[in-house]
Every structure is written in C-alpha cells, then in structure tokens.
Amino acid sequence: MIRYALRCDKGHDFDGWFRSSDGFESLRSAGQISCTHCGSAKVEKALMAPRVAQSRDEAADLHTPRNEYEATVEKLRQHIENNSDYVGMSFASEARAMFEGQVPERAIHGEARLEDAKKLLEDGIPVTPLPFRSRQRAN
C-alpha cells in the first residue's frame, strides 16, 4: 500500500492509501477520489515529506481523531450510522421512491453516482454529501 498526501482544487489537504501508483491514477481519472473536506473530485498528489518511524512503538493510533475537525466528523458518522439505514448504491432510487411516496419515509445513507445525485437535486429531492466514507465501504 502507498500513502499519498493529496490536495483538492480548493486547497484542502488530506491523505489517501492506494494499492499502487497506477491504482491511484486509475481511481483519480475515474473520479473515484474526492476531497474529505468538500467532496471535490479534482484531486492531485501534494508534496510529501518522508516520515521514518523511530521504532514500532511509535506507530500512530489511527482510531483517535487528530484534531477537532476529525472528532466532529467521527461524531457525525456515529450519529448517522446509529440513526439511519445504509442502502449502498441504491441510495438514489430509495431517496426518489420515498420522495414520490412509493415507500415509507425513513432516514437513509449510502452512495450515489454524481450524475444521480445531481438529478435528485434538480428534481427537488433534498440530499447532501457526507464528509466521510461509509464504514460498510471501508476496508
């Protein structure tokens, strides 16, 4: 796995792990990488300084938020996961069916292609991107 420092077109910095350099390029060109702060798909590699651990005991705790932003996003993630149903890639069709009264309304979260999300908004269906990746999709 390769860790890259990334930057979106709005100047937000974040990290990403990829199987290979080709894997990063493939995902980026397909629009599958988005900024963790604003959701922009215009993402590039940022300049990275090498990080050499002094010992294995110094490994970072990946479960503890590093700053206030990460703590807030984690709190939001927990609230959404505890109070809504994950519908995966069926999000757009589920949201539309609820809006049109075909199925009972309930809180949902999931994924949608950019075109599908835009169509929902154009049709007056209230949706918003979340500032995190679903745990169901994360490894």
Residue with tokens 């002094």: 54
| H helices, E strands: number in the chain | 4, 5
d(CA 77, CA 44): 26
If we measure between CA atoms, which residue out of 85, 94, 83, 135 comes closest to residue 117?
94
Q: Where are the alpha helices (DSSP H) in the chain?
A: 21-29, 68-83, 91-99, 114-122
CA distance 127 to 28: 24
Q: How does pLDDT run across 26-68, given as a tens digit for each residue? A: 999 888 999 888 889 899 998 776 666 666 656 666 777 778 8
Give the chain's domains with CATH numbers.
2-47 (2.20.28), 63-122 (no CATH)
Residues 72-82 have a mean pLDDT of 92
Query: What digits encode the pLDDT tens for the residues 6-31?
Result: 999 999 988 888 989 898 999 998 88
pLDDT of res. 139: 47
Would you say 12 and 35 are in contact if contact means Cβ atoms under 8 Å apart? yes
- pTM beyond 0.85: no
Residue 3: pLDDT over 60: yes
pLDDT at 100: 96
Q: What is the pLDDT of residues 78-111, one digit of tens each?
A: 999 999 999 999 999 999 999 999 999 999 999 9
Q: How many CB atoms lie within 10 A of CB 37?
A: 15
